[in-house]
Structure 1
């Protein structure tokens, strides 16, 4: 996939325009990476995941490590979004690791968005993640 570029009318600079199904500097889509993160949250190792997804083990290990570094920030970002989408949402039970906790809150937010927005919220949980994080889910500085 080759992303489009757009020119900013204010600064006149060009910017890469990513689809909501993409993450910054990743060749694989958000759905594939999200599948790996969900599996990791359940305890599957990177080699088994790589074989299942047909990707190099080093690539999958890189996704998992990058997400592990950002898991606390992602979890906090999505917990705040959950309160905005569903102020009456109860507490989310801890899952035992930062990765599993972040994946859990992402799923809860995706369900809340679908309830609240209906058809407008009809994007996959990982497209929602890509949109909310500006494609920076696995970026070294974390999501905005």
Structure 2
């Protein structure tokens, strides 16, 4: 659910619209978005490195409109890279990968 909120924000949606679509309180969604925005550059760097180190023939994502969207694109790109390296493990959502890479702390105060 948090990944869906982050992706929607990267696509240009606002917190109120995202909260309504997900059936969550707007304050909760705003908290997710603020926390991610505050570390967007760190997330972008970490997941771009993962993408390049993992991918069979890695293609870093093109620059997006905002640092927030750049970070989301890096997470998605790392997921694609992992799938290209290990196709037999099945599909893993970009946000499950982000959870594993961050040890469940993607939005925690102590990460990265």
Q: Same fold (TM over 0.5)?
A: yes
TM-score normalized with structure 1 length: 0.73
Stretches of structure 1 lacking an aligned partner (at least 5 in a row) = 1-31
TM-score normalized with structure 2 length: 0.92
| Other structure's SS at 1:75 match | helix
2:2 to 8, 33, 43: 33
Q: Look up the match of 1:24.
A: none
Larger radius of gyration: 1
Stretches of structure 2 lacking an aligned partner (at least 5 in a row) = none
Query: 1:71 and 1:142 mapped to 2: Cα distance?
Result: 12
Higher strand share: 1
Q: In the TM superposition, what whole-angstrom CA distance separates every residue of 1:88-117 from its partner, at most 9, and x where no partner exists?
A: 423421102111001111111111111111
Higher helix share: 2
Taking only aligned residues, the RMSD between alpha carbons, in angstroms, comes to: 1.4
Name the count of aligned residue pairs: 112
Q: Look up the match of 2:98.
A: 129
